[in-house]
A and B are shown apart, each in its own frame.
Chain A
Amino acid sequence: MREELIAYLETEILHGEEEVLAEDDLLGSGLVDSMGMMKFIAHIEEEYEITIPPQDLVIENFMTIAAIEEYVKGRSS
């Protein structure tokens, strides 16, 4: 899952111009803007067949690829 998330982010949102590590701060670093984040979240919902309720759409769950992976795994299990 981690590789898929990174690949999607790198190709679809960052257009292959930046490399992302699992622990990179996606939100504070300026890597992704708010529109990009919305696109990423829509992809996660579709790809992993989950609906993310509003109360889960918070910084703690989306700060890094690692945090997203942990959140999605927690939801799927």
Chain B
Amino acid sequence: MVYLLQHALEQSADKYPDKDAFRCMSQRLTYGELERQTNNLARALQNEGLQKGDRVGILLNRCIDTPVALYGVLKAGGVAVPIDPFAPVERIRFVIADCGIGLLISNNQQRRALQKLDLASTQVRAVMGPDVSLSVPNVSWSLVASNGGSPTANTMLEHDLAYIMYTSGTTGTPKGIMHTHHSGLAYARLSGNLYGVNANDVVANHSPLHFDISTFGYFTAPLFGATTIICSDAETKIPNSLAQLIDKEGITIWYSVPLALTQMLQGGMIHELSWSSLRWILYGGEPFPVSQLKILLAKTRNARWSNVYGPAEVNQCTYYHFDASTDLASTIPLGHIWGNTDMLIVDENDNSLGINEQGELLIRSSTMMSGYWNQPARNDKAFLSKENAPFEQRYYRTGDLVTLDSDGLLHFEGRKDRQVKIRGYRIELDEVQSILDLHEALDEVAVFVHREGQDKSLAAAVVTALPHEEVKRTIRLFVASKLPSYCIPEKVIILTNIPRTAAGKVDHRALVKLTEE
């Protein structure tokens, strides 16, 4: 019976031992080999003292070690915490401390990042994977393989935690979204059924492991015995190589943020490629510019497209399918609520709204997180509890403003707060703001979004006595030391005072106008 995420892998390893489960560049792992390697890692983690429920960090780039690390942790009874190896040292150290990571999985390629972390001063007591010397003991992959065996049985159940994904918070520190085996598997089942995923599918995974889009390639595909192609970091940076990968690997299901698809289009090579293997193209994270979408639709006449919507807190909750024959409006709807999910659209007092009335979308779903790690106050605010005797139902407040039209389609109308999506990255303007507020040489700061045509970028207006030529660099270095690189304001304007409304609030409209001049 499949009630834990690793059962999906075990089942597919039983059915398709010689079939490729994952490929990345020239490397491959069959289901049988993945089963053996994850057993070895799980045993090695237990030998290092892992107890059920212990958090294990996965500090890896896009590579073939990621599925081994993820399922190895789950089989050992641990909770996987994927960490961006390219994030600032301070942020990685925050995550390690926040959820108490004692064991870390990495590899030799991350040597630089591991050394910068100064692990001896953290709670990490051992690193699995690298064979370079660090300030804490390490167990190399070859040692993991030779000391392995099967993990000892554990008593995990479906509502035990499986993984924590960190995302930006508004206060300057990230928050950990907790998912259980139940919510992870519910997502894998629902998404697999929605897109008819089967053992003949070849799924492209573009997202790094620490973003929720990766759950399709890492959880859904193995549940149905499909093969996942992990797009390497190199391929994600050279759009033409990425475009070629579709033909080379015979990708049948593509899933990424819109930017990856528009970059392939702009790379100028797709007319030379067939892309005939594609049967589904899924995108999520932000709206797709329709003008570019139409060119891509003409290229992919045999494929269906799906707009995937859902904050990482609920995995996915809506879908909108279309293809080359669909008469598209100027924006693509969020579409329909999917299975085992209810929604409410409410006003500021949590009263339900009617057709075409704009309000916040609230979601109750089997794919929903259990809460944020170690954040009781935040969890109280994140959910609305509704009594539905004899049960209490929890709805997650998405913060997204939507309308429901008379055809039953949901439409995205904006954000309730100052969270934005830029190039698919989820950015809290208030988080960037709170970091810059800490800088002593910046007297006043206002962070906002600068638009140029269809392109959006992060901008900051500052009041400062610093020499003008130093301001941009100062801001960049300061933000880069605390937040991921996509949070660095690309545009900086220096003002003598920040425009404010009569009520004294920052006048964002005036700021946007200033940058347009």
* Centre residue among B235, B241, B272 by max chain A CB count within 10 A: B241
B61 near A59 with CB under 8 A, answer no
Asked if A59 meets B238 with Cβ closer than 8 Å, knowing A27-B233, A28-B109, A28-B232, the reply is yes
Complex CA–CA separation, A57 to B268 (angstroms): 10
Q: Does A76 contact B (CB under 8 A)?
A: no
- B-side interface size class: 20 to 34
Partner of A34, one of B61, B236, B480: B236
B237 part of interface (Cβ distance < 8 Å): yes
- The one of A15, A29, A35, A59 in contact with B241, judged by C-beta atoms closer than 8 angstroms, is A59
Q: List chain A residues, Cβ under 8 A from B477.
A: 17
Kindly state the separation between the CA atoms of A14 and B489 in the bound complex, as whole angstroms. 15
By a CB distance below 8 angstroms, the chain A residues around B3 are none
Mark contacts of A50-65 with chain B using CB atoms, 8 A cut-off: 1 yes-contact digit, 0 otherwise.
0000110111001100
Task: Using A15-B473, A15-B476, A30-B86 as known contacts, say yes or no to A55 and B237 having CB atoms under 8 A apart.
Answer: no
Closest to A34 in B: B237
Give B115 Cβ to nearest chain A Cβ, in Å: 14
A3 within 8 A of B: no
Q: Is B354 part of the binding interface, using a Cβ–Cβ cutoff of 8 Å?
A: no
Contact digits for B226-270, partner A, Cβ 8 Å, 1 yes 0 no = 000000111111111100100000000000000000010001110
Cα distance A17–B263 when bound, in Å?
Answer: 27
Asked if A5 is an interface residue, CB under 8 A from chain B, the answer is no
Verify if A12 is at the interface (C-beta below 8 Å from B). Answer: no
Please judge, given known A-B contacts A54-B267, A55-B240, whether A30 and B272 are in contact too, CB under 8 Å: no
When distances are taken between beta carbons in the complex, the residues of chain B under 8 Å from A72 are none
Distance, CA A63 to CA B110, complexed state (A): 17
- Chain B 413-429 against A: per-residue CB contact (8 Å), 1 yes, 0 no? 00000000001000000
A66 and B112 CA atoms in complex are apart in Å by: 21
Partner of A28, one of B61, B239, B267, B268: B61
B-facing residues in A4-61 (Cβ within 8 Å): 15, 17, 25, 27-30, 32-35, 37, 54-55, 57-59
| Cβ of B137 under 8 Å from chain A | no
State whether the Cβ of B485 lies closer than 8 Å to any Cβ in chain A. yes
With A54-B269, A55-B269 known as contacts, the answer to whether A32 contacts B237 (CB < 8 A) is: yes
Q: Is B399 an interface residue (CB 8 A)?
A: no
Interface contact B233-A28, CB-CB below 8 Å? yes
> Is the CB–CB distance between B235 and A59 below 8 Å?
yes
Residues in A with CB closer than 8 Å to B423 are 35
B17 within 8 A of A: no
CB distance from A34 to the nearest CB of B (A): 5
A62/B233 contact (C-beta < 8 A), A30-B86, A55-B269 known: no
In the complex, B339 has a CB within 8 A of chain A: no
Using Cβ atoms and an 8 Å threshold, which residues of chain B touch A28?
Answer: 61, 109, 232-234
Beta-carbon contact of B240 and A27 below 8 Å: no
Please encode chain B, from 40 to 82, with 1 for each CB lying within 8 Å of some chain A CB and 0 for all others. Answer: 0000000000000000000001000000000000000000000
> In the complex where A17-B477, A28-B109 touch, is A37 in contact with B272 (Cβ < 8 A)?
no
Do B234 and A27 touch across chains, with their CB atoms under 8 A apart? yes
Contact B237 A33 (CB under 8 A): yes
- Cα–Cα distance between A29 and B107 once the two chains are bound (Å): 12
B85 touches A (CB below 8 Å): yes
Seed contacts A15-B473, A28-B232; 7 additional CB < 8 Å A-B pairs: A30-B233, A34-B236, A37-B237, A54-B268, A54-B269, A57-B238, A59-B234
Name A's B-contacting residues (CB within 8 A): 15, 17, 25, 27-30, 32-35, 37, 54-55, 57-59, 62-63
Query: Which A-B residue pairs are the 7 nearest by beta carbons?
Result: A27-B234, A30-B86, A54-B268, A54-B269, A59-B241, A57-B240, A34-B237
10 contacts between A and B (CB under 8 A): A15-B476, A17-B477, A28-B232, A28-B234, A34-B237, A34-B239, A54-B268, A54-B269, A57-B239, A57-B268
